[in-house]
Copies of this chain bind each other. A is one copy, B any other.
Amino acid sequence: MPELNLVQAINTTLAQEMERDERLVLLGEDVGANGGVFRVTEGLQARFGAERVVDSPLDESGIMGAAIGLAMGGMRPIPEIQFEGFLGPAYDQLVNHAGRMRNRTRGAIAVPMTVRVPWGGGIHAPELHSDSPEAIYTHHPGIKVVVPSTPRDAKGLLLAAIRDPDPVVFFEPKRVYRSYKEEVPEEDYTIPIGQAKMVSEGTDVSLITWGSMVFECLAALDNLPEDVSVELIDLRSINPFDRDAVIQSVQKTGRCVVVHEAAKTAGMGAEIATVIQEEAFLHLQAPVQRVTGFDTIMPYYKLENEYLPSAKRIQEAVEQVLAY
């Protein structure tokens, strides 16, 4: 099995699936000769031609709307939005068209497409290049949202997303792109959307997160006393998310910390905490705690590390939850 980083895993998976399914078309800014600004689509235009790997005009709403039309016309588009901050102009097409089409036509018209979007902070990029808007696209019904944190998961989730008959937003944690390698099976496999991954089993406290924060949580675990048994869950899918995994874990541990990069208020941490208190109320030994970005704009990079949840902040929250 080859060792791949996240960029390579997505790249090879795209190639593999484009080989298998002629309906796949990639479109986006700089995805062609340049191979994308993160090189995720490197070599694909040379291999599959400029008809299937399309450099688009600089217009995210156009990319999204045209992709919706391509899907309605029988293709399986994979639009790329260059950074999650530029989903803004495409928001209306995504939530009000892609997310509604099947429902408003009572199943007559579907929009099978996978929207690939580099996501999250941690790479010292300019403004609007480090956000994490997963809660936004989860609150709007009709769109699936996934955030793989490792190359192996990325492959399985990407294949599941592409083959899903509905629109999926596939957020790619930039910080992980080249910072982590693992063996990725060459064969075809999918990971069901909506299934969390148990990263480490534990009995004292549940730690729930996704994306690059999985690694920050792992770092936090390293600093915790040996006898603290943490159950670390990588949610992987945000919409729908694995309620069962979350609830069962907290029913077991009675304590929970949710960690995400996005701002706290009305973020996914709130939903997860609420589901826990709704469904595991009598098991809870302490309030569910949120370790998240602050309720302010993701700062320019000098303060980026202060904004993002750190291993230290996570550790502190875990300790306090345990001490409650």
List residues of chain A with CB under 8 Å of any chain B CB.
Answer: 61, 85, 88-89, 91-92, 95-96, 99-100, 103-104, 127-128, 135-136, 138-142, 239, 262-263, 265-271, 273-274, 277-279, 281, 284, 286-290, 295-297, 300
In the assembly, what is the distance between CA of A269 and CA of B290, in Å? 16
Interface pair B88/A296, CB less than 8 Å apart? no
Nearest opposing residue in chain B for A285, CB measure: B281
- Known contacts: A139-B266, A273-B274. The answer to whether A92 contacts B89 by CB under 8 A is yes
In the assembly, what is the distance between CA of A278 and CA of B127, in Å? 32
In the assembly, what is the distance between CA of A85 and CA of B262, in Å? 24
Chain B residues lying within 8 Å of A290, measured Cβ to Cβ, are 274, 278
In the assembly, what is the distance between CA of A136 and CA of B296, in Å? 14
Chain B residues lying within 8 Å of A141, measured Cβ to Cβ, are 263, 265, 295-297
- Known contacts: A91-B88, A96-B88. The answer to whether A281 contacts B286 by CB under 8 A is yes
Q: How far is the CB of A29 from chain B (nearest CB, A)?
A: 16
- Known contacts: A262-B139, A295-B141. The answer to whether A96 contacts B128 by CB under 8 A is yes
Interface pair B277/A288, CB less than 8 Å apart? yes
Chain B residues lying within 8 Å of A281, measured Cβ to Cβ, are 284, 286-287
Q: List 27 A-B contacts (CB under 8 A).
A: A88-B95, A100-B127, A103-B297, A136-B136, A136-B139, A139-B262, A139-B266, A139-B267, A140-B263, A141-B263, A141-B265, A141-B296, A142-B296, A142-B297, A266-B267, A269-B274, A270-B271, A270-B273, A270-B274, A273-B277, A274-B288, A277-B277, A277-B284, A277-B287, A277-B288, A281-B284, A281-B287
Nearest opposing residue in chain B for A127, CB measure: B104
Q: How far is the CB of A38 from chain B (nearest CB, A)?
A: 21
Nearest opposing residue in chain B for A239, CB measure: B265
Chain B residues lying within 8 Å of A88, measured Cβ to Cβ, are 91-92, 95-96
Beyond contacts A139-B267, A281-B287: 5 other A-B pairs, Cβ-Cβ < 8 A, are A104-B300, A141-B296, A142-B297, A274-B288, A281-B286
